Amino acid sequence: MSTETSIASAGRRPLRLPLIAALALAFISLALISGIAYIFVLAGASSTADRLLVDRAARVVDQQVGLVRSRLDPVTEHLEFLAALAAHGRLDITSPVDVREALWVMMTKVPAISSASFASFNLKVERVARLPDGRVIRDTLSLVDLQRGMEQFRQLQTSHRTFWGALFWSQTQKQPVLNVRTPVRRVDDAFIGGLVATVAVGDLSYLIGEGGAGGHYFILVGRDKVLAHRRLVDPCGLGLSEEHALPTIHEVDDPVLAKIWDPPVRSPQIDRALGRLGHVVESDGRRWVFVYRELHLFGPETWLVGQYFPIEEATSDLDRLTNGAIVGAATLAVAALLALLIGLTMARSIRTITSAAEAIERLEFDQPFHRRSRLREIDDAGHSLDKARGALKWFGAYVPHRLVFRLMELGEDAVRSRRRNVTVMFTDIVEFTPQAEDLPEQETADLLNHHFALLGACIEREQGVIDKYIGDSVMAVWGGLSRMEDHADHAVHAALDIAQVIRDDNAARRAAGRSAIRVRIGLHSGPVVVGNIGAPGRVNFTVVGDTVNIAQRFEQLGKEFMKEGEDIVVLTSAATVAAIKDREALGLVLAEPVLRQVKGHDEPVKVYRLA
């Protein structure tokens, strides 16, 4: 056999790998795979430890929030249950004995309640209270004699849901109390009274601590006022008073809590794990982890509910992980050293193949790769690499690109309108613009919100619908959403209620040294177009037509009829008077109408003054 034939024959033989080479490659591969796996395991374990810390912090603060809710939510639930009994006539609110007995039963079932009371339209307050020495008193108070009693009662009148009020000082408990209030309304939504329950700050602190919150729990109002803390279980000695209802973080004899807002101790590992759940501070040479969460359920102010604990408790898992990482790294280093020693002994025999592979990596195809070797396998591999060089020289890589688009079609339904007979009301505050110019922005907003709440309660009670607010004006409609035969009766009744509410509110404002709010009201009945009016995608359900314009002009006519010192003027058209179904039920005694010219009408119209 010739040499050429032998070479050709050798070129056709498959690549053969000696056992020693396979073992060396396997050992090196095993070492590399072990190292990569260890890195991934270490990263995963570190992430797991971080998650454990996050889970623990979240669990601690969730448990704390849950504990607070478990103590305060039953107060709301039992108060609403008692309101439901009264609304359905199952509790006789006219019997002081029955009311006080029901309040006492509620207090026995909910230990958090320190006092409970019921106020009715006779301005009497039936109260059951637990004194600090454990005695229980049952008494009847005058709503007028209670500080801010009438104001809080009016708030209940205009409310349709249970709400937590602002913290206030209790002379009976000699400490600040939380309070929850719920209006009592019959099934027809008529207001018949209000229920109030209070929770003393000391009782709240005791119940949270008793529930297993630990000795380092706290609830802050704002950044520095302490609402719940082990020191507040018995607040005596803290110098609390009506002017200083809550202690600060520096007054509760807790040096760690006093440093909660000090510059935090920075630690990448802890900061990454805690995130927004808390931070670490240092106090007396020790580091403490604070975890907390905001709570917005129990009053107008935001609570910060949380705990703190030594950092050792939080980092124990991380410390064990660090120790394991050190042992694992040392083991891997020994294994890598052994792999290096064995690899060096085999490096000379495979250097030619390595050089060829590096040349291919550098795209160096101009020189032949083949180098003669004493190792048969290496020599054969050199021949194979040299043959592959020509093909690799012409090899190129292409990366295709694709763009994907998705089209969406939007549609909208047609809007159907209809014609109905309705009664429209317009209200307006007299000279509000110059009055508001002298007030700060927030006081202006509070004034309007209070005014609209009073009007809205009267309108909604008479089944009216507030169509829109226009500055300090209100536009309301009766009969727009559904057919209402007695829409004029309801509208007139609402206007008379508003007149009385405005007079009562002004009396309170004058007593408080504030200026009165003077209001004009105009009513008119007639046909309108009712429906969704507006551009596609931006519509309003409203009424349009000449009836709306006339109602607004009747409100403007009030300028001629309102005298100096009057709080309110209510004008209505002859159309509204004619549409009234039951004048006797309204108790109307109408004076002779006067004729006035209204813009847009050739003939004068009749104007009736209701108030």
Phi then psi for residue 508, to 5 deg, are -70, -35
Judged against a pLDDT cut of 60, whether residue 419 lies above it is answered with yes
Measured distance CA(314)–CA(118) in Å, rounded: 48
Residue-averaged pLDDT of the chain: 80
Close Cβ partners of 91 (under 8 Å, ≥ 6 residues apart) = 82, 85, 98, 99, 102
- Of 3.30.565.10, 3.40.50.20, 1.20.900.10, 3.30.70.1230, which CATH number belongs to 418-609? 3.30.70.1230
Judged against a pLDDT cut of 70, whether residue 366 lies above it is answered with no
Question: Is the distance from CB of 430 to CB of 543 less than 8 angstroms?
Answer: no
Q: Write down the domain spans for the chain.
A: 418-609
Closest C-alpha among 452, 459, 428 to residue 557: 428
Measured distance CA(464)–CA(405) in Å, rounded: 50
Residue 30 CA to its chain's centroid (Å): 54
What DSSP assignment string belongs to 390-408?
HHHHT--------------
**DSSP 3-state assignment of 117?**
strand
25-51 pLDDT, tens digit each: 666 676 667 667 656 655 555 555 555
134-181 pLDDT, tens digit each: 899 999 999 888 877 888 889 899 999 999 998 988 888 889 999 999
What DSSP assignment string belongs to 462-500?
TT-EEEEEETTEEEEEESSSS--TTHHHHHHHHHHHHHH
Closest C-alpha among 386, 352, 357, 390 to residue 369: 386
pTM, whole model, 2 decimals? Answer: 0.47
* pLDDT score for 9: 44
pLDDT band at 511 (very low <50, low <70, confident <90, very high): very high
Measured distance CA(496)–CA(610) in Å, rounded: 8
User: Given its phi and psi angles, is residue 284 left (phi above 0), alpha (psi -120 to 50 degrees) or beta?
Assistant: left
Measured distance CA(518)–CA(187) in Å, rounded: 33
* pLDDT score for 287: 87
Average pLDDT of 217-245?
90
Closest C-alpha among 525, 521, 522, 520 to residue 574: 525
Judged against a pLDDT cut of 70, whether residue 21 lies above it is answered with no
The length of the chain in residues reads 611
**DSSP 3-state assignment of 230?**
helix
* pLDDT score for 7: 40
Which DSSP category does 263 fall into? Answer: P
* pLDDT score for 585: 84
Residue linked to tokens 């009267």: 458
- Greater model confidence, 80 or 417: 80
CA angle 215, 241, 255 (to 5 degrees): 30
Say which amino acid occupies 202: G
Judged against a pLDDT cut of 60, whether residue 227 lies above it is answered with yes
Distances, alpha carbon 380 to alpha carbons 134, 216, 358, 541, in Å: 100, 76, 18, 88
* pLDDT score for 395: 46
Question: Is the distance from CB of 465 to CB of 478 less than 8 angstroms?
Answer: yes
89-111 pLDDT, tens digit each: 899 999 999 999 999 999 999 98
Residue linked to tokens 């498959």: 14
Judged against a pLDDT cut of 90, whether residue 351 lies above it is answered with no
Closest C-alpha among 307, 306, 313, 304 to residue 270: 313
Q: What does the block give as tokens for 192?
A: 């018949």
DSSP β-ladder status, 519-535 and 568-573: parallel
Residue 514 exposed, middle or buried by CB count within 10 Å (0-12, 13-18, 19+): exposed
Mean pLDDT lowest among 55-69, 109-123, 539-553: 55-69
Measured distance CA(566)–CA(568) in Å, rounded: 6
* pLDDT score for 440: 87
Which DSSP category does 277 fall into? Answer: G
pLDDT band at 397 (very low <50, low <70, confident <90, very high): very low
Question: Is the distance from CB of 201 to CB of 246 less than 8 angstroms?
Answer: yes
Q: To which H or E segment does residue 551 belong? A: helix 546-561
User: Which residues share a beta bridge with 544?
Assistant: 529
Mean pLDDT lowest among 215-219, 260-264, 299-303, 374-378: 374-378
